Amino acid sequence: MATVDEVRNVLEKMAGKVAKKSDELNLEDDFERTLAVEVTDLGQAFSAKLAGGKLTDLLDGDAADAEVRIIIGSDDLIALSKKELKPAKAFLTGKVKIKASVKDLAKLRKALKVD
């Protein structure tokens, strides 16, 4: 099991990768969403804002009003970040669950696939 600090570091790196890909995301200027990441085995949650194609304000703690909720185990999150686990396989096998509207999922597909 990964530690809270390891998970936080991975999420910070992912936020940086999303920022680098912001031009490719083609999101409307007014597209803003609150994201929550629940790390099931650590009993820890993180929240962030997606605005202007950038993922910012990564904070410890849940955002109850999050429009996008990602539920994942710490080891699976680490494996995704190291490309040891493919996002599609993680989703199809239930290792990662994403709760969001279909419209948001379509818009966020590229942002959530940070390779």
Tell me how far apart the alpha carbons of residues 43 and 39 are, in angstroms, rounded to a whole number. 6
Domain holding 92: CATH number? Answer: 3.30.1050.10
| Domain hosting residue 18, numbered range | 4-105
Residues of the chain with pLDDT under 50: 114-115
Give how far Cα 99 sits from Cα of 78, 84, 96, Å: 20, 23, 10
Q: Is the residue at 111 inside a domain?
A: no
Within-domain flag for 114: no
What is the strand order of the sheet 32-39 is part of? 54-60, 44-51, 32-39, 68-72, 96-99
Tell me, yes or no, whether 110 lies in a domain.
Answer: no
Percent of the chain exceeding pLDDT 90 equals: 60
Res 96: pLDDT: 94
What is the reported pLDDT for 114?
Answer: 46
113 part of a folded domain: no
**Structural domains of the chain, count:** 1
112 is a domain residue = no
